[in-house]
Amino acid sequence: ELAARQPDAVAALALVGAGLQMKVSPQLLEDTKGNTPRAVDFITAFGHGKPAHLGNAPTPGNWMMGSATALIAACSGEVLHRDFAVCDAWDGAAVAGQVRCPTLVVSGTVDRMTPPRVGQALADAVPGARYEALPGTGHMIPTEAPRQLLKLLRAFIPAPAAA
Mean of all residue pLDDT scores within the chain: 90
Torsion of CA 38, 44, 50, 51, to 10 degrees: -150
Residue 61 has a pLDDT of 64
What DSSP string describes 30-97? HHHHTT-HHHHHHHHHHHS-HHHHTT--SSTT--HHHHHHHHHHHS-HHHHHHHHHHHHH--THHHHT
Geometric angle at alpha carbon 121, from 99 and 48, rounded to 5°: 110
Residue 105: phi and psi, rounded to 5, are -115, 125
The pTM (predicted TM-score) of the whole model is 0.87
Residue 88 has a pLDDT of 95
**CATH class entry, domain 1-21+91-158:** alpha beta
Half-sphere exposure of 156 (CA within 13 A, CB side): 22
pLDDT digits (tens, 9 = 90+) for 107-156: 999 999 999 999 999 999 999 999 999 999 999 999 899 999 999 999 99
Residue 162, classified by CB atoms within 10 Å of its CB into exposed (0-12), middle (13-18) or buried (19+), is exposed
Rounded Cα distance, 19 and 23, in Å: 10
Asked if 38 and 31 count as a contact pair (C-beta separation under 8 A), the reply is: yes
